[in-house]
Structure 1
Amino acid sequence: MNERSDFIVRNLSAGEVELPVEWAALEGWNPGLHDASCFWAADPDGFFIGEWRGEPVACLSAVAYDEGFGFIGLYIVKPEFRGRGFGMRLWQHGMDYLRNRNVGLDGVLAQQENYRKSGFQLAYRNIRFQGVEQGAVHSDISNASELPFEQLVEYDRQCFPAARARFLAAWIGQPDAVALTAIRDDRVAGYGVLRRCRTGCKIGPLFADNDQIASNLFDGLGARMPGEVIVLDVPETNPAAVALAKRHGMTSVFETARMYTQEPPAIPVERVFGVTSFELG
């Protein structure tokens, strides 16, 4: 048998997306309890598995948000099958699927050079902060469910490179999660989502017009699950976001390289206090 011809790449079905999420847990990425169904909603055609002689050995997500932007994540090769070219073949399949889009990723810092070979350029670092939060209640913070969904989608689009209504509907509506909004002068001025993970919780996204609104949202989210270990991933290019994390007693535990194949999307990074996820951007 030919090892190369015995390797195939195929799309994952909705029920199979749990597999790469489980592999992510084994890698120590601590995914959310309901990440699989939410991720799937972003692009049902963007999840791939590499099989060697019928056995799943590699996975990748290549989410096409629209015709102009995509994001690569969940790139995992089972340890015993690494170094045999399976990962690169799967990677190329995902990149071919995304075609001419501007593609983003969050990669470990040590792999930057490999990503550069695939046409990616460093935009900035994302810093993972972690800490225990008790939270506080603020009168200007309310449940996202009280807001017309279209207004939330519109605000999110201002802070993310593409519209993602289907993903957002799943993300804010998932079990074991809280979605809060801030309203100023009858308009959305920020929102955030906290979801329970295998260990503790993660906040993301956390988008806000300024650091005070972001801090109130952070407090409100923490108050819903007090005493839990909370993770917040912030772009280093937003000093106010870094300061918010440190002000809440969080410590830096990990960093990624946010990279793109084209110019970084023109979004107001000063309003991004927490990225949605390292897997989907």
Structure 2
Amino acid sequence: MIPIRLMTAEDLPLGMRLKSQAGWNQTPADWRRFLAMQPEGCLVAELDGVAVGTAVVTAFEAVALISMVLVEQEHRGRGVGKALMNRAIQVAEELGCRTIRLDATPLGRPLYEALGFVAQYGLTRYAGMSGAVGDPSTTASLVVRFSGFEDINAILTMDAAVTGTQRGKFLTRLFAEEPSAVRVAQRDGRIAGYFAFRPGSDALQLGPCIALTDEAGIALLTDALSRYIGSRVYWDFPSSHSGAVALAKSAGLSAQRQLLRMCRGEAVNDDDARLWASSGPELG
């Protein structure tokens, strides 16, 4: 039996080493955020007393997200990933979650399928140096502006309606950490969409971005891409989202990798047409 314990702040170097082996984009701030949001969901696997793997469970009321399932390269194929996943599922169930979701890489998909996860839809990561795509941030009736504290309730309500997940504890923390990173699209005094980003070790992670209309989605992402011209960016969104694909290509970005959003338990009926950018593989 592979021992699994709770992660502590002292394990951050382990997390950073494993994510670097996998070529992922997290920073120490991301790991600290996981620990702050769900300390009982941050897991470490050991072999012979040495930490060799991680997994994170984040519960948003009835929906749990599993992420950061990473195993030291030299110890892969020894059942560490399966042990971590089994414990992560157990933690999610102990927290009362009826749905468990994750974004699977091709490497992890066979394991997740064996554990009862089923495919929902694909996501594509577009990456590259951000290029200018125009400036439609202000029109006769639609304005893109910095978000303020007064917007948070409207943002959380919109996000829950589109994602089917109560992500308040993530979004409020993200907004507090990077208040200047949050923008909203407003039409006739009503918020029609929001956008946020966070720094990464390799690139700026664009998203989350939720928009109720194509006009708002295009305005928010065009605004973001224009503000980060010359910066390396990652942008994850549903593979079938033709509007996002067209905008990403017009900004000079290219498809880098594919992910598969998977679910175990009750299905979440999210509105992927209004999901202009996910929060990355970690948080849906």
Q: What is the TM-score of this pair, normalised by structure 1?
A: 0.89
Correspondent of 1:44 among 39, 57, 66: 39
Shift of the 31–153 alpha-carbon distance from structure 1 to 2, 3 Å rule, reads same
Which amino acid counterpart does residue 272 of structure 1 have in structure 2? Answer: L
Match of 2:145 in 1: 142
Specify which of 189, 192, 197 is matched with residue 189 of structure 1: 192
- Structure 1 segment 108-119 matched on structure 2, within 5 A: 108-119=105-116
Q: Secondary structure at the match of 1:206?
A: strand
Measure, in 1, the Cα distance between the counterparts of 2:265 and 2:244: 25
**Are 1:63 and 2:58 an aligned pair?**
yes
Map 1:114-193; keep pairs closer than 5 Å.
Answer: 114-135=111-132, 138-139=137-138, 140-145=143-148, 147-175=150-178, 178-193=181-196
User: CA offset at residue 52 of structure 1?
Assistant: 2.5
Q: Which aligned runs of 4 or more in structure 1 are off by greater than 4 angstroms?
A: 134-137
In structure 2, relative to structure 1, the CA distance for the partners of 1:19 and 1:111 (3 Å cut) is closer
Structure 2 counterpart of 1:30: 25
Structure 2 counterpart of 1:78: 72
- Structure 1 residues 101 and 215, CA, compared in 2 at 3 Å: closer, same or farther? same
Distance in 2, matches of 1:263 and 1:239, equals: 28
The answer for unaligned runs of 5 or more in structure 1 is: none
Q: In terms of mean alpha carbon deviation, does 137-146 or 118-127 score higher? A: 137-146
Q: Distance in 1 between matches of 2:179 and 2:232?
A: 15
Instruction: Give the Cα separation in 2 of the matches to 1:20 and 1:176.
Output: 26
CA RMSD of aligned residues (A): 2.2
- Identify if the C-alpha distance between structure 1 residues 178 and 189 changes in structure 2 by more than 3 Å, giving closer, same or farther: same
For 1:12, the equivalent position in structure 2 comes to 7
Superposition deviation, residue 280 in structure 1: 2.1
Q: Does 1:198 align with 2:201?
A: yes
Further displaced range: 147-156 or 228-237: 147-156
1:118–1:177 CA distance, 2 compared to 1 (3 A): farther
Pairing partner for 1:271 from 262, 274, 277:
274
* 1:234 corresponding residue in structure 2: 237
Distance 1:154 1:161, change over 3 A: same
Separation in structure 2 between the aligned mates of residue 74 and residue 32 of structure 1, nearest angstrom = 12
Q: Offset of 1:119 from its aligned partner?
A: 0.4
Q: Is residue 88 of structure 1 aligned with residue 91 of structure 2?
A: no
**SS of 2:181's equivalent?**
strand
Which letter does structure 2 place at the counterpart of 1:232? Answer: W
> Unaligned regions of 5+ residues in structure 2, if any?
none
TM-score normalised by the chain length of structure 2:
0.88
- 1:246-275 CA-partner distances (Å, limit 9, x unpaired): 232321110011111135411221100111
Distance 1:15 1:141 in 2: 41
- Offset at 1:240? 2.2
Give, in whole Å, the separation in 2 of the partners of 1:176 and 1:147: 12
